[in-house]
A and B are shown apart, each in its own frame.
Chain A
C-alpha cells in the first residue's frame, strides 16, 4: 500500500485557469447585451461564428501538436479570444471576415507561438488589426445604432446581410448605413474626427445624430456594460486593478490636457472614455495576462503607455479607433517593461531603500 508523495504546498486555492477564463467570458455579458440592444444581432452572430471557428482551429492544432486536447480546448482561452474578436468586429461585416480572423488569432497568433501562455500578442487584437489592414472596406462598415436605421433590421435580415451582403429585401450594407438624410453614418469617433478635419468644432460635431445625447448612441451604453463587467472581474480578483486604472487615468490625463489646450478641436475626456473600445480594452484586452506585463509596476507602466498610445492614435492616426493598435504596441513593449520593472527581491539592495 503506497503512501502518496507530493510536493508542498499540499493545498491549493482551487482556482483554475479555465475558471478564470470563464469568469472573464461571463463578465463580457453586460457589454454584449448593450451591444445587442443597440446594434442588433450582428455581433452575436459573429461571436458564435468566431467561437466555432476558434474551437475547430484549436482542436486541429492541438491534435497536430500532439497535446492533451481536452483540458486545453476547454480552458476557455480560445473561446475568450473568439468572444473578444466577435465583439470588436463591425456588426455587418461579411462572415468570412470572422472566419479568417479567428483562424488567424488561434492558429497563427496563439498556437504557432506555442499556445496558451506563450503568445506575445493578444490574439483577438492581432487578428483585428490584421483584418483591418487586409480588408479595410469590410472592416469599416460600421452599423449605426438600430434607432437611427431607416429600415427595421431583424435577426434574419442581419444573418442574410452577413452571409450574402444583402437583406432579403435587397438592401445592401451600404444602404443600411445611410441615414434618412442621405449621408453615411460612421462611428462617433469617426464622425468627430472627420468633422474636425472639416473644420467643425467638437461641440458642433456632438450634434451629429450618431452621437445622440451623450457620447454616441449605443456606444456609451456598451462601454458602461463593459465597465460593469470589468468591475465585476475586479471584485472577483480575476483581473488586477493596476492595468485598467493606469490605462483609464492615462487616457483621461492625455485627453484632459488636450482639452485644456484646445477645447475646440479636442473631444472631452468622458467622450474618450465612453466611445470606441475604451472599456473593452481597459478591462478585457489589456488585462490579458499572457501578453501583458506581470509585475505591479510593470502593469502600471503598461496601462499608462496604452492610454497614451490610444489617445495619440485617436487624435493623430489614420484609423478611427486605436485600442487594437495600442494593445499590440504595448504587447511588444511588455517584455521590456517586465525587464525593467522587476520588483526588488526581499533582502536585496536594502540600502537603497533606507
Chain B
C-alpha cells in the first residue's frame, strides 16, 4: 500500500463524504493587494476572543497604553491576553456586543487611539532556534495567539501537545466561497508564513508537514511551492476545491485518509493542524515580539464598491472597514462576519474585528437574498436525501431536521447531532429551503440546556437522598439516645443514691398499684375464707371459679370492644334481665348467693374496665376521669360487697338497678370518653329525678343517657339512705375509705414523688406504715422493674391524673365516697348477675359456685363483727398488694 506521502506526491487524495461547490466569489478580492491598516476613531477590544476564559484586565480607564502593550494577563493555558493594537487611552471598560452568532454582550476594553501608533518596547529575536521550546511557547501564549481560522482555540495549547506528531497540517484550504485572506497572506508574506511553519516544526518535530491548499489559488500555490522547494518534509498538497475541505476533520481525511474519532482531538492521531494566518502570527510573535494585534480580513461582497483584503487592527469596528471599501447598501444593511456558509449576521456595524474574524461580507440583495426581504421559502421536506448526500459528517440531515422539529432529543443524540460541524452544506442544497443548520443550532442549544437541567436535577436528587439518609440517621440516633437514657436511668436506680431511691420507689409504687389492682379481685375472695381459717379448699375453688368467670368476661369484653357502641346496650339488656331475676327474690335466703355472684361479677366488670382502659390509654384526662372513678369503685369494692350482703333487700334491689346503669355509664364513658360530660347528665338527672325507678321498670330498652341519669339519681337516693344504716355499716364504709385512701396515697405519692404531705396527714397510721413499707421494699427484681418500665410512661400518666383527682378526694364528703362505693358495688352486682348466667353453662362451674355460696354464707353468719372482717379484708388486700409488688410469693404476712 502506498504511503500517504507517495499518494500525495501523485496527487491522489482521498475524499470526504459529500461536500458542495457553491459559486466562487474569490475573484472579487483575490487579485487585489492587502490594504494597510487604518486606525479607526475607536477600538473595541473584547477581553475574550478565543475559546476559554478571559484574561484579567490589568489596565484602568484613563490609562495611556502603547501599541503592543498587554491589556490583560493570563495565568492559565486557556486564558489569553489581549493587547493594545495601537497607542492611545483606555476610555471605558464595559459590556458591549461581541462578534458572536448570538449577539451577546461581553466585557470589552474601549480605546481611543492617539494616532501616534507608538510601539512599546520590543525584543527582536532573529534566531528562534536559540530559544527553548518553553520560551517559544511562552512567547506564543504572551502574544495571545488563538486559532485564526474561525474557532479561536488557544494556539499554545495546541502546539504544546506532548503527543508524538506525525503530521503537521497547515490549513490553507480556505474553502468559503468569498474569503481570500489566507490566499493573499501567502502571496504577500510567504517568508513570514514559512518562518511560522518552521517554528512549529521546531516545536513539534513532525515527520511531515502537509500544506493543504485548494486548487483554485494558483498564485499562492506557486509561491508556496517555490518557498518550500528546498525543504524536504514540507509537502504542498493541492486538493480539489470542494466545500468544506477547510474543515479540520475534512482536511485530515483528505490528506491522510484518517478520520478523527468523534469526541477526540486530532493530536491523539498524531496530527496537529494550524491555520496559515496563525503561522504568520506565530512568526511575528516569536521573531518580532509582536503580539496578535492585527490580521488580514477579507472585506467582500457585491454591495461594496471596492472589495479587498485589508489589514485590520483587532477591535476595529466592522463599519469602519466597510466604509473604507465603499459600502453602498444604504437601505437594507446585511453584514455577515465570516463566509456565506458559516458566517453569522451582525446586528450592527460597530461590532469589532477579533482574532478569528477572517471575512466581512456585505452582499447585495441579488447576491444573498435575506429571508427578511423575500419571506421564508421553506416548504416541507420531501426526503429527497440531497442533504444527506452532501453532508461531510455523513449525518442524515433530513432525519435530524425531523427530530429537531419534534424536539426529540433522544433521537437527535442517536443521530449524532453533535457531530454536525454546522457547515451548512445541507441547507445549501435543500430544495425545500429548510434552514436546517438553524434547526440544529436550536436543537443543540436545547440539548445542552436539558443536560444542564439534568445535572441540576441529579444534584437535587442527591441532595434529597442525603437529606433522607440524614433524617434516618437522626432517627436512629434519637432512638439510641433514648435507649441509653433508659439504661442510664436503670443503672441510676440500682446505684443506691437517694435520687435513685426516689425514682425506684416511684416505679415500685406504680408497680405495686398495678399489681394491687390486679390482685384485688382475688383479695376480695380471700378475705372471708381467711377469716374462717380452715376453709382454704373452698376458697381455692372459688378462686378457680373466679378465674373462669374472669376469662369469660375478658372474652366478652374483647367482643364488646369489637362491637363498640352496641355492646353496652347488649350488656345492659342482659344485666337488666339479671337484675329482674335478682329483684324477683329480694328477701330470699339467696342473698348471700347473690352477694357472691356480685363479687365474681365485680371481677368481670373490673376486667372489662381494665380492658377498656387499655384501649383508651391514649385518651386525654376526660377519658381518665372515669378510669379514676373505676379505681375508686374498685378500691371500695371490698367493703361494698359486704355492705351489700348485709344491707336490706330493697337496698340491694335499688343498688342492683343502679349497678346496671352504672356499668352502662362506665361502658359508655369509656366507649366515647371525650363526648362524655357530667353537666348534661346532671341536668337531665334533675328532670328525671322523681320517676327514676318507675321509668326504669317501664322501659326495657330505654335510651342510654336516660338510664345513666337514673343511675345517678338512684345512687343519690341510696347514699341518702345510707346514714340510716347500721353503725357497723358505717364503720365498714370508713374502713373501706381508709383502704381507698391508703391506695390513693400510694398513687399520689408515686405521682408527685414524695411531695404528698397532705395525703399522709389525712391517712391513718396503718396506711402510712404500709406505704413506708412499700417504699422500703424496693423492687428487688431488676427484671421486673425493667419490664414494668415499658408500661411506666402510660401508667404514670394515669397516675398523675389520678393523683390530681385524688388530691381532691380528701375534701370530698364521706357521702360522696360512699356513693362511689355503692356504685362500685352495684357494678359488681351486675357483673355478678352476668357471671351467674355464665355459670349456668357448665355444671362444674355451678358446683364450685355453690360451694362458694356456702362458704360465703358461713362466713357471713360466722363473722361476729363485720367491722373486723372488713378490716381484715383490707389488710389482706394491702398485704397482697405488697406481696405482689415485691414479687415474693412465700412471705405472706400473718395478720
Contact = CB atoms under 8 A, between A and B. Distances in A.
B51 interface: no
Nearest to B269: A350
Given A15-B429, A345-B393, A350 B388 contact: no
A343 B396 CA distance: 8
Nearest to B262: A347
B341 A8 contact: yes
B437 interface: yes
A20 B431 contact: yes
Interface stretch (B211-219, B327-335, B558-566, B661-669): B327-335
Contacts of B103: 5
Contact of A17 (B372, B379, B388, B393): B379
B167 interface: no
A10 B389 CA distance: 20
A313 interface: no
A76 to B, nearest CB: 11
B361 to A, nearest CB: 8
A292 interface: yes
Given A343-B394, A348-B419, A11 B380 contact: no
Nearest to A75: B379
A16 B431 contact: yes
Contact of A9 (B17, B363, B428): B428
B41 interface: no
Contacts of B372: 4, 6
A73 to B, nearest CB: 11
Contact of A290 (B338, B345, B383): B383
Contacts of B105: none
B384 to A, nearest CB: 4
B656 to A, nearest CB: 91
B446 interface: no
B261 A350 contact: yes
Contacts of A294: 383, 385, 388, 396, 398-399
B380 A118 contact: yes
A37 B384 CA distance: 33
A296 interface: yes
B430 to A, nearest CB: 8
A20 B429 CA distance: 12
A338 to B, nearest CB: 8
A13 interface: yes
A343 B395 CA distance: 7
Contacts of B425: 9
Interface residues of A, number: 45
Given A5-B345, A15-B431, A346-B419, A240 B385 contact: yes
A3 B335 contact: yes
A260 interface: no
A2 B373 CA distance: 12
Contacts of B793: none
Interface in A284-313: 289-290, 292, 294-296, 299
Give the one of A71, A292, A347 with max B CB within 10 A: A347
A106 B334 CA distance: 41
A200 interface: no
B5 interface: no
A249 B416 CA distance: 34
Given A1-B333, A6-B345, A345 B388 contact: no
Nearest to B263: A347
B394 A3 contact: no
B336 interface: yes
B343 interface: yes
B383 A8 contact: no
Contacts of A10: 336, 340-341, 343, 345, 361, 363, 368
Contacts of B20: 13
A348 B340 contact: no
A3 B361 CA distance: 13
A289 B249 contact: no
Contacts of B367: 11
Given A9-B428, A343-B17, A345-B262, A292 B383 contact: yes
A97 to B, nearest CB: 28
B225 interface: no
A346 B393 contact: yes
A346 B392 contact: yes
A347 B260 contact: yes
B381 interface: yes
A289 B385 contact: yes
A345 B414 CA distance: 11
Contact of B370 (A1, A6, A19, A295): A6
Given A294-B388, A346-B249, A347-B260, A12 B428 contact: yes
A2 to B, nearest CB: 8
Interface in A1-41: 1-13, 15-20
Contacts of A213: none
Contacts of A18: 379
Interface string A111-152: 000011110000000000000000000000000000000000
Contacts of A17: 379, 382, 384, 431-433
Contacts of B263: 347
Given A3-B334, A347-B261, A296 B341 contact: no
Contact of A347 (B22, B249, B382): B249
By Cβ-Cβ distance, the 3 closest A-B pairs, closest first, are A9-B424, A117-B380, A7-B438
Given A3-B348, A343-B388, A346-B16, 19 more contacts: A6-B372, A8-B427, A10-B340, A10-B363, A12-B427, A12-B430, A12-B433, A13-B428, A16-B432, A18-B379, A20-B384, A20-B431, A292-B383, A295-B396, A345-B394, A345-B395, A347-B260, A347-B261, A348-B261
22 contacts: A3-B333, A3-B345, A6-B345, A7-B345, A8-B342, A8-B344, A9-B340, A9-B424, A11-B340, A11-B341, A11-B368, A13-B22, A13-B429, A117-B382, A117-B383, A117-B432, A294-B388, A295-B385, A345-B416, A346-B253, A347-B249, A347-B263
